[in-house]
Structure 1
Amino acid sequence: MKIIKRSGSEVTFDISKIMDAVSKANMEVVHSERLSEEQIETISNNVESICKEMNRSLSVEEIQDLVENQIMNFRAFSVARKYITYRYKRALVRKSNSTDKQILSLLECNNEEVKQENSNKNPTVNSVQRDYMAGEVSKDITKRFLLPPDIVDAHEQGLIHFHDADYFAQHMHNCCLVNLEDMLQNGTVISETMIEKPHSFSTACNIATQAIAQIASSQYGGQSISLAHLAPFVQVSREKFIGQVRDEFEKTGIDASEEKIKEVAELRVKDEIKRGVQMIQYQVITLMTTNGQAPFVTVFMYIDEVPEGQTRDDLALVTEEVLRQRMQGVKNEQGVYITPAFPKLIYVLEEDNIHEDSKYWYLTEIAAQCTAKRMVPDYISEKKMKELKVDANGNGQCFPCMGCRSFLTPYIDPETGKPKYYGRFNQGVVTLNLVDVACSSGKDMDKFWSILNERLDLCKRALMCRHYRLKG
């Protein structure tokens, strides 16, 4: 007769192990409540007989359940209680040992699962290892305490995938759209320090990178910012430079027309845009956040997101500079220009830039050249997105995805009656293994739909676990 161990291997049934376990529990209780040697032997024999009658290999857990029942049949409840407690403690030890082994293996850089889990993290770096250590503890707590057993089982069997269990223990959300406009226009607070409205485009870019780093350290998903929120500060810099140039010309005795002053100031504006865009590019890829990686950032380039006029033209200037710098790339440690991983870029195709005679057609040409060389930006069709994302007011909306690919649902803010996207986030992800549903149905369509409904219910309950976890 065989039994199935927890490792999945089969071994020969050994009655002496049952007798030893019951005897240890028996010795933990007072003498008057103990079982006799004959009773312990009878319990063991009864379990063996039941196992033989099953005509299959039982698991260790099933056999332990039988032992508990047999002890209680003899009304030895104190012994049963000790046996159950011992069994529980052993289960905790096994689980803790598993976590310990996972942590030690990642510290020695021989944990293949961790190496392949996230290409944005280098598992040999100390800060990354610390994040992975915390992640292993979170996974353990999630499986043992925070998720219902059937959801854990479905995840481990590959029926569904409960993403980011390494962060689930904390009250953290996934991806977001950064409300950079609010932070820049109204000021913000970073690390208990008041940050007021910036007085130049480059300062706005610097604040944006600091906000990006803080956000990346407080969530586990990607984030998106829009150049439309930075574009108004080009005019702030322009007005500052016009005043500076006028003062410099007056102090140096240079007689220049207002047109010439603005021309010189515009040269400084373009240099300011170049420095600001370069700051975002290099800060994003060199900053190290608390989760051991560079921030996963997407930059959204949508010309019609700002009103027509100077601000839109300034947004076009910033967009052009972003595309040209991405085409150039950044230097690696050998001094060779390469394609940086971040920020991701999204360029929106719209009526103002898809026709050869349109005002911003030149930007689409530059974007195409950038795609040919660097495989970015990604593209969104304003026309198609507005057909697919219609809000409660009946208006089509065009807005960025969060980080890489997740889009928010259309939403009208009840306080303003207007659409709201920036400042919202994604609570987390659960994936359904649709292939397994099909394979499990055995080509029976009725069975397919029945299994699919069951699995979708699992996914919904898993997602609600995320919702309630965030609520606290």
Structure 2
Amino acid sequence: MLQGIIKKDGTFQEFQPDKIKIAVNKSATRVMQKLSDYDLNFIVEYVHNKAEEIAKQNDRTTVTVPEIHNLVEKALDKVNSEVAKSYRDYRDYKIDFVKMLDEVYKKSQSIMYIGDKDNSNTDSALVSTKRSLIFNQLNKELYQKFFLTTEELQACRDGFIYIHDMSARRDTMNCCLFNMQNVLKDGFEMGNLWYNQPKSLDTAFDVIGDVTISAASQQYGY
């Protein structure tokens, strides 16, 4: 007899029909479909019965989350093929995210214990730099996932094109040049602090140094 489900983290959970109904309804909504109560009850009953068969065949009292997902997909195939595809697509989307985070984790471990030599301008021995490099790796993965087309990604992997600083392209700009005179004139606000217009050359150079450091941290490239 089926007692429950072993989740991905190894914990136990009782079989919950409502969670299946919520999941398939979300998949239906994404493709502007509506499942009837009969359809939902059929899916739950199908999944439960097949899960019991799997548990019995393998001399177990539980099934795994991936097994439940597979059964839900099969049940949806019998009910509505569009919703079934939506369910599969979202499941694949989550799997892609897991793979992406796994790549980030592996890179973070390398940065933490080995260091990073990709950029000679950064000292990966510093804690602040390690944090920045790990965040950059996540940004790079997100950029590849959501901003590059399949053709562009394939071209990158095949070596036909190279996109510099992918880790910074999502949320900043490249080598922004600005008129320092306009910045200093009449004062300005930076970092929640108001700076008055410098009245001496010595003060101006100090302020320009602050502005340059702040601007450099908000963009990439030199």
TM-score by length of 1: 0.30
SS in 1 for 2:109: helix
Question: Offset at 1:165?
Answer: 1.0
Once the two structures are superposed, the pairs formed by residues 407-446 of structure 1 within 5 Å of their partners are none
2:124 aligns with 123
Quote the residue 2:98 is aligned against.
93
The CA deviation at 1:33 is 6.1
Return closer, same or farther for 1:27/1:163 CA change in 2, 3 Å cut-off. Answer: same
* Secondary structure of the structure 1 residue equivalent to 2:117: helix
Query: 1:209 offset after TM fit, Å?
Result: 0.5
Q: Confirm whether residue 107 of structure 1 aligns to residue 112 of structure 2.
A: yes
RMSD: 3.0
Q: Quick one: distance in 1 between partners of 2:76 and 2:143?
A: 42
Q: Which AA in structure 2 matches 1:168?
A: R
**CA pair 179-150 structure 1, distance change in 2 beyond 3 A:** same
| Pair 130,31 (structure 1): closer, same or farther in 2 beyond 3 Å | closer
Q: Tell me the SS of whatever aligns to 2:162.
A: strand
Q: Which residue of 1 aligns with 2:52?
A: none
Q: Distance in 1 between matches of 2:75 and 2:177?
A: 67
Distance 1:32 1:153 in 2: 33
**Deviation at 1:30?**
7.4
Task: Describe the SS at the equivalent of 1:189.
Answer: strand
In structure 2, the CA distance between the partners of 1:206 and 1:32, relative to structure 1 (3 Å rule), is closer
- SS in structure 2 at match of 1:176: coil
Summarize the Cα distance change of 1:207–1:160 in structure 2 as closer, same or farther, 3 Å threshold. same
User: Partner of 1:219 in structure 2?
Assistant: 219
User: Does the 8 A contact of 1:176 with 1:221 survive in 2?
Assistant: no
Deviations along 1:249-301, one digit per CA (max 9) or x if unpaired, are: xxxxxxxxxxxxxxxxxxxxxxxxxxxxxxxxxxxxxxxxxxxxxxxxxxxxx
Higher helix share: 2
Question: In structure 2, how many angstroms separate the alpha carbons of the residues matched to 1:134 and 1:90?
Answer: 21
Please list the CA deviations of residues 292-330 of structure 1 after superposition, one character each: whole Å capped at 9, or x if unmatched. Answer: xxxxxxxxxxxxxxxxxxxxxxxxxxxxxxxxxxxxxxx
Rounded Cα–Cα distance in structure 2 between residues aligned with 1:148 and 1:29? 28
Contact 1:103/1:133 (8 A) holds in 2 = yes
SS in structure 1 of the partner of residue 198 of structure 2: coil
Q: Distance in 1 between matches of 2:202 and 2:153?
A: 48
Post-superposition Cα deviations, 1:319-367, rounded to whole Å, max 9, x if no partner, equal xxxxxxxxxxxxxxxxxxxxxxxxxxxxxxxxxxxxxxxxxxxxxxxxx
Deviation at 1:136, TM superposition (A): 0.8
Larger radius of gyration: 1
Aligned pair in 2 of structure 1 residues 220, 81: CA closer, same or farther (>3 Å)?
closer
Residues 156-175 of structure 1: matches in 2 within 5 Å?
Answer: 156-170=157-171, 172-175=172-175
For the residues of structure 1 that align with 2:96 and 2:192, how far apart are their CA atoms?
44
The alpha-carbon distance between structure 1 residues 100 and 186, as it changes in their structure 2 partners (threshold 3 A), is same
Change (3 A) 1:76 1:24: farther
Q: What amino acid sits opposite 2:99 in the alignment?
A: R
Q: Which secondary structure state, in structure 2, belongs to the residue aligned with residue 194 of structure 1?
A: strand
Helix, strand or coil for the counterpart of 1:116?
coil
CA distance in structure 2 between the aligned counterparts of 1:180 and 1:84, rounded to whole angstroms: 50
Q: Is the 8 A contact 1:26 1:79 kept in 2?
A: no
Distance change in 2, residues 1:148/1:182 (3 Å)? same
Cα deviation, residue 87, structure 1: 4.0
Counterpart of 2:176, as a letter, is C
- TM-score when scaled to structure 2? 0.59
Does residue 149 (structure 1) correspond to residue 193 (structure 2)? The answer is: no
Q: Provide the rounded CA distance (Å) in 1 between the counterparts of 2:90 and 2:97.
A: 11
* One-letter amino acid of the counterpart of residue 200, structure 1: S
* Residues 1:188 and 2:193 are matched in the alignment: no
Unaligned runs of 5+ in 1: 1-21, 35-74, 223-472
Q: CA deviation at 1:180?
A: 1.7
Residues 144 and 153, structure 2, Cα contact 8 Å, conserved in 1: yes
What residue in structure 2 maps to residue 204 of structure 1? 204
**Pairwise CA distance, 1:196:** 2.0
Kept after mapping to 1: 8 A contact 2:76/2:84: no
Size of the aligned set, in residue pairs, is: 156
Q: Does 1:177 align with 2:221?
A: no
Percent pairwise identity: 22
Matched, 1:27 2:71: yes
Q: Could you say if the C-alpha distance between residues 211 and 28 of structure 1 is closer, same or farther in structure 2, counting changes exceeding 3 Å?
A: same
What secondary structure, in the 3-state scheme, does the structure 1 residue paired with 2:139 have? helix
Give 1:88 shift: 4.0
CA distance in 2, matches of 1:140, 1:211: 31
3-state SS of 1:99 partner: helix
